[in-house]
Chain A
């Protein structure tokens, strides 16, 4: 078994295991104590940079740009009988470091560690303690986060069984990491990122992921690790640099939408996966867009997949 297949298999297994989170959420409704939690800061409270780690077990997650005077504004509604907010803030040398989110009452946090560790394809994550999660239901409330536009933000999101709508257009993101288990995720960048992003990482278990205008993210490196699900990666937007990317998927379909003006080189390592890339030239170690030599900006993609289908579209 090749490394790619092994990784893909593990990813798929992790996805299946994490999809169990949804299973265990199924249950009867108990008495609910709905509560609203809010944490907000103005931009002047931090002078250098801002790091935000968001952990969210289950529910509807929405992230969008806020106004300029804002550092962040987070609101959560949840059933306090089953969930509790977690929050940690540290300010040092002008750099703010915030960890905030929702965990389960009585939970020892191991499953959130599994989500936030960024190591979904490890066996160790497949047997984490579910705590009280098996008593939960899916009516888990909402989380709305607004992010300020002034300071560079290192954003890390870990969401369990959630419906995620993340629009980050215009937000200054120096790094973005999105980890999600069983979810539907829409990630978009309607406006270009004011700063260059070092890395954009998406990890998903059993998920449907739709992205839009990833080119506006201005990332240097892109990585997607997917277990089971359908993924659409739209690399449209205003490109301003060369970039590299890696997509590792277990079972599912992958659709790549690539702007025609971008020079793209795709190298793939796949097993039982169909591949369709009309308009691309076959080269020794992959497929290359016809404009590779002349394009102003380039994207080199490595695809490692098993059991699925890959479709590549050049979008004029």
Chain B
């Protein structure tokens, strides 16, 4: 094709197209003429016109029911939608064509055919486009095509050599009607577009069009591109350009040499022996009937967790900054949500069971090692105990209560540790007697400040998201610390809950100088007594 392949492009687009249009017009004209005569009158020809600043279209309804569309648009002449030649927009041909389309004769059933026959392109018009236009009108009206454009070979089964102003094209085997040729070429052009830009203009240098079964001998060289529209082509000779396969079967015989590419948009390509293709065999062929949708057995390990893949909009650096900021805000929001949720639970505990909460908090504070060890043991024993409860069928009823009790102990213990942490923080901060009294009496403050302290690492992780990838390691490390702190606090609190029997015993809560008893429990009252 184009890349890296030495290519001769002597012919230009207009040559092939002029030849094609001329060919089509010539081949179609006898049949059209006959049919018009059979219809009895040219008056059956009707027309519709469409004019705009960059387009002038004449659509003819032929007596045989077919239509012919001739369009001049933005410098290109189209016949039946097929690009045929170039012209100068606003030039003599464009002006004269628009003049014809505006003439009353075009809209007269009686005078249409005569007006089209009598119309001729101005002498200074683009020669190729003018010739094609006149040929198309002549074929539509049934008049004789200009003798200087085409020469028809009568023999069916042989090549019909067409001569245009700048070159020629051959049709084989034998002639092909204008309509069929136009349709096929339009289909070929649109199909080639599927192959990409490289192939989209490959039909512009056609030297030979094969539309039925045909053979090219080993001593024959086709100078230019070859299009196989249908039938079976045995190619044993040389093609100096590309071979385009729209339909049918291309048999590459042992002596076949293609100096360009094979561009296949349908049909088949079969190689027999050592055919030489200098370029590429490139094809896109719709499968008919549709292939079974055999889903590949792509098996992903079941252990692989499926995660949310972040979908981002394109935004370059600023998009990245925005995403990082968004993640940071998400993280802070989540942390704040946890703070509010746990804080409300803590405040509820203080309000309803303050002595017990304080007892657990003091136990955790004054017996850290013992509480932690107890909590760790409790966590370790959780599953064996659960297993025992499951195995001993009679204990099944206890399982929900056991799970609930453990969950409450874990949460309550964590809040008690938060209380203790808040108390320690307050002790470090306040020194006056007044504030000290306030401190002692304000468990609400302890819980909230302690919770804030315990959740700070998570907030820090969220903030670090704002800085994106460069701080990912620090972010991971902080997250690790946050998780460890949380686990330690939960374990410590869980142990304190166990040691203090849910805050009902205070013997483990005593032991430091600053310990101040609260409203005594019943057992404590007895002790005091």
Residues of A within 8 A of B291 (CB): 34, 77, 141
1/0 contact trace for B285-327 toward A, CB 8 Å?
Answer: 1110011011111111100111111111110000000010000
| Contact B4 A89, beta carbon cutoff 8 Å | yes
B389 within 8 A of A: no
1/0 contact trace for A296-313 toward B, CB 8 Å?
Answer: 000000000000000000
B117 within 8 A of A: no
| Contact A39 B196, beta carbon cutoff 8 Å | no
B477 within 8 A of A: yes
Q: Which of A16, A35, A126 contacts B286 (CB 8 A)?
A: A35
Q: How far is the CB of A183 from chain B (nearest CB, A)?
A: 7
Q: How far is the CB of B347 from chain A (nearest CB, A)?
A: 38
The chain A residue with its CB closest to the CB of B5 is A91
Q: Kindly state the separation between the CA atoms of A127 and B465 in the bound complex, as whole angstroms.
A: 14
The chain A residue with its CB closest to the CB of B281 is A40
Of residues 456 through 507 on chain B, the ones whose CB sits less than 8 Å from some CB of chain A are 468-469, 472-473, 476-477
Question: A17-B307, A77-B287 are contacts. A138–B298 as well, Cβ < 8 Å?
Answer: yes
| Contact B306 A23, beta carbon cutoff 8 Å | yes
The chain A residue with its CB closest to the CB of B307 is A16
A256 within 8 A of B: no
B3 within 8 A of A: yes
In the complex, which range does the number of interface residues on chain B fall in? 35 or more
B276 within 8 A of A: yes
Q: Kindly state the separation between the CA atoms of A44 and B314 in the bound complex, as whole angstroms.
A: 43
Question: A138-B296, A163-B296 are contacts. A36–B287 as well, Cβ < 8 Å?
Answer: yes
Q: How far is the CB of B2 from chain A (nearest CB, A)?
A: 9
Residues of B within 8 A of A59 (CB): 296
B283 within 8 A of A: yes
Q: Which of A16, A35, A41, A58 contacts B304 (CB 8 A)?
A: A16
How many residues does chain A have at the interface if contact means C-beta atoms less than 8 Å apart?
A: 65
Identify the interface centre among B290, B296, B299: most chain A CB within 10 Å of its CB.
Answer: B296
Q: Which of A21, A60, A129 contacts B313 (CB 8 A)?
A: A129
1/0 contact trace for A111-153 toward B, CB 8 Å?
Answer: 0000000000001101111100000011111100000000000
Q: Which of B293, B304, B313 contacts A228 (CB 8 A)?
A: B304
A254 within 8 A of B: no
Q: Which of A9, A33, A162 contacts B296 (CB 8 A)?
A: A162
Q: Kindly state the separation between the CA atoms of A45 and B1 in the bound complex, as whole angstroms.
A: 12
Residues of B within 8 A of A182 (CB): 298, 300, 304
| Contact B284 A1, beta carbon cutoff 8 Å | no
| Contact B284 A36, beta carbon cutoff 8 Å | yes
Q: Kindly state the separation between the CA atoms of A303 and B281 in the bound complex, as whole angstroms.
A: 44
Residues of B within 8 A of A163 (CB): 296-298
Residues of A within 8 A of B323 (CB): 127
Q: Which of B290, B298, B306 contacts A20 (CB 8 A)?
A: B306
A37 within 8 A of B: yes
| Contact B301 A228, beta carbon cutoff 8 Å | yes
Q: How far is the CB of A278 from chain B (nearest CB, A)?
A: 27
| Contact A139 B3, beta carbon cutoff 8 Å | no
Q: How far is the CB of B405 from chain A (nearest CB, A)?
A: 33
| Contact B280 A39, beta carbon cutoff 8 Å | yes
Of residues 45 through 85 on chain A, the ones whose CB sits less than 8 Å from some CB of chain B are 45, 58-60, 69, 77, 79-80, 85
Q: Kindly state the separation between the CA atoms of A184 and B301 in the bound complex, as whole angstroms.
A: 10
| Contact A123 B280, beta carbon cutoff 8 Å | no
B336 within 8 A of A: no
Question: A36-B284, A206-B304 are contacts. A42–B294 as well, Cβ < 8 Å?
Answer: no
| Contact B306 A19, beta carbon cutoff 8 Å | yes
The chain B residue with its CB closest to the CB of A84 is B194
Question: A16-B307, A35-B287, A228-B304 are contacts. A183–B3 as well, Cβ < 8 Å?
Answer: no
Question: A17-B309, A90-B4, A129-B311 are contacts. A32–B286 as well, Cβ < 8 Å?
Answer: no
Q: Kindly state the separation between the CA atoms of A206 and B299 in the bound complex, as whole angstroms.
A: 10
Q: How far is the CB of B193 from chain A (nearest CB, A)?
A: 12
B49 within 8 A of A: no
Identify the interface centre among B287, B294, B473: most chain A CB within 10 Å of its CB.
Answer: B287
Residues of B within 8 A of A34 (CB): 286-287, 290-291, 293
Binding site for A on B (CB under 8 A): 3-5, 196, 264, 274, 276-287, 290-291, 293-301, 304-314, 323, 468-469, 472-473, 476-477
Binding site for B on A (CB under 8 A): 1, 6, 9, 15-17, 19-24, 29, 32-42, 44-45, 58-60, 69, 77, 79-80, 85, 87, 89-92, 96, 108, 123-124, 126-130, 137-142, 161-163, 182-184, 206, 208, 228-230
Can you list 6 pairs linking A and B with CB atoms under 8 Å apart? A16-B306, A36-B286, A45-B280, A77-B291, A91-B4, A206-B300
5 A-B pairs with least C-beta separation: A91-B4, A20-B309, A139-B293, A127-B310, A139-B295
Could you list 11 further interchain pairs (A-B, Cβ under 8 angstroms) beyond the known A1-B476, A139-B294, A206-B301? A1-B473, A34-B286, A45-B279, A92-B4, A108-B314, A123-B472, A124-B469, A126-B309, A127-B310, A141-B291, A182-B304
